[in-house]
C-alpha cells in the first residue's frame, strides 16, 4: 500500500508540473501575441495604424495606385506616358491634339454613316453612337479639385498662424525646393513625375514596407545621434544671457 501511494503522489506531482508548464507557455504565447502589434505599431512609418490602402482612400483610386487591377493601372500609366511624350518630345500643342482628335472623330462618323447607307441599300441607315459626357463627371472633378485646393490653403494658413517655427521653416524650405525644381522643368514634366511617383512608390512601399520602415527609422536614429553629438559638443557651449538676473534688476 505505501508503495502505491508514493507512485500515485509522484504521478500527481508530474501532472501538476506539466499543467503549470503548459499554462505558462500558453500565457507567454498570448502575451507575445498581444505585444507584437504594439511593437509593430511603433515601428511603422510616422506611427501609422491603418494599412496603405486605407490611407489612400480605400476606393477605386487606391486600387489603381496599388495595382490591384494591373491592366487598369498599366493603361493609366501608359496613357500618361503617351501624353507626356507627345507634348514634351514631339512638341505637340494641346489645341492641336484636340482639333486632330475632333477631326478624326468626325471622319469616323462620316464614313460610318455613308458606308452603312451604301452596303445596306433599301434599309435604314444604322444610327451612329453619339458620345455624350455626363455632367456628374465635371461636377465631381471640380468638387475634388476645389476640396484639395482649400485643404492645401488651410494647411498653409495654419502653419503660418500656428506659431510653430520649426514647422513653418520646414514648409517654407519645401516650397522653396519645389520652386527650384519647377525652374528646371515645366509644369507638365513636374506633374508627370509626380503622377509616376504616385503610381509606383505606394505599391513598392506596400510590398517592402518592413524594410522601408526599418531603413527610415535607422536613418532617423542616426540623425538624432549626430544631433545629440552636435548639441553636446557645440550648441550646449554657446553662452546664454542671464535673463533672470536682468529681470530681477
Residue 219 CB-half CA count within 13 A = 6
Whether 116 and 124 have beta carbons less than 8 Å apart is answered as no
Residue pair 117/125 in contact by the 8 Å Cβ criterion: yes
On whether residue 71 sits in a domain, the answer given is no
Asked if the structure places residue 248 within a domain, the reply is: no
**Interaxial angle between packed helices 209-233 and 2-43, expressed in degrees from 0 to 180 and rounded to the nearest 10:** 70
pLDDT at 97: 87
In a domain, 63, yes or no: no
Report yes or no on 81 lying in a domain: no
pLDDT of residue 47: 59
Count of CB atoms situated within 10 Å of the CB of 84: 17
Low-confidence ranges of the chain (pLDDT < 50): 1-7, 10, 14, 17-18, 21-42, 243-249
Residue 205 lies in a domain: no
Number of domains in the chain: 2
pLDDT at 238: 67
Q: State residue 153's pLDDT score.
A: 94
Amino acid 187: pLDDT = 84
| Per-residue pLDDT at 123 | 57
Take residue 132 and report the three cell numbers written for it: 455624350
Residue 138 structural domain: 133-184
pTM greater than the 0.75 cutoff: no
Q: What is the pLDDT of residue 229?
A: 78
Burial of 65 (0-12, 13-18, 19+ CB in 10 A): buried
Q: Within a domain: residue 158?
A: yes
pLDDT score at 81: 94
Distances (CA, A) of 90 to 85, 99, 183: 6, 17, 21
Q: Among the three residues 143, 168, 184, which one is the final residue of a domain in this structure?
A: 184
Rounded to the nearest 10 degrees, the angle between the axes of helix 187-207 and helix 209-233 is: 110
Instruction: Please give the grid coordinates belonging to residue 119.
Output: 452596303
Residue 199 lies in a domain: no
Residue 231, in any domain of the structure: no
Amino acid at each position: 500500500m505505501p508503495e502505491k501511494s508514493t507512485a500515485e503522489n509522484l504521478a500527481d506531482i508530474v501532472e501538476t508540473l506539466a499543467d503549470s508548464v503548459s499554462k505558462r507557455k500558453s500565457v507567454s504565447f498570448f502575451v507575445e501575441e498581444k505585444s507584437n502589434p504594439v511593437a509593430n505599431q511603433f515601428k511603422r512609418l510616422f506611427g501609422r495604424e491603418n494599412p496603405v490602402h486605407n490611407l489612400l482612400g480605400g476606393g477605386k483610386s487606391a486600387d489603381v495606385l496599388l495595382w490591384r487591377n494591373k491592366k487598369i493601372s498599366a493603361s493609366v500609366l501608359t496613357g500618361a506616358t503617351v501624353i507626356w511624350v507627345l507634348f514634351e518630345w514631339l512638341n505637340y500643342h494641346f489645341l492641336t491634339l484636340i482639333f486632330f482628335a475632333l477631326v478624326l472623330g468626325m471622319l469616323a462618323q462620316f464614313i460610318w454613316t455613308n458606308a452603312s447607307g451604301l452596303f445596306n441599300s433599301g434599309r435604314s441607315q444604322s444610327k451612329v453612337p453619339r458620345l455624350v459626357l455626363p455632367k456628374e463627371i465635371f461636377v465631381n472633378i471640380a468638387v475634388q479639385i476645389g476640396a484639395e485646393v482649400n485643404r492645401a490653403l488651410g494647411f498653409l494658413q495654419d502653419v503660418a498662424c500656428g506659431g510653430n517655427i520649426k514647422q513653418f521653416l520646414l514648409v517654407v524650405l519645401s516650397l522653396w525646393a519645389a520652386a527650384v525644381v519647377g525652374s528646371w522643368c515645366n509644369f507638365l514634366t513636374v506633374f508627370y513625375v509626380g503622377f509616376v511617383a504616385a503610381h509606383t512608390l505606394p505599391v513598392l512601399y506596400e510590398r517592402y514596407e518592413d524594410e522601408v520602415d526599418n531603413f527610415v527609422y535607422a536613418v532617423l536614429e542616426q540623425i538624432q545621434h549626430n544631433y545629440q553629438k552636435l548639441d553636446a559638443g557645440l550648441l550646449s557651449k554657446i553662452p546664454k544671457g542671464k535673463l533672470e538676473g536682468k529681470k530681477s534688476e
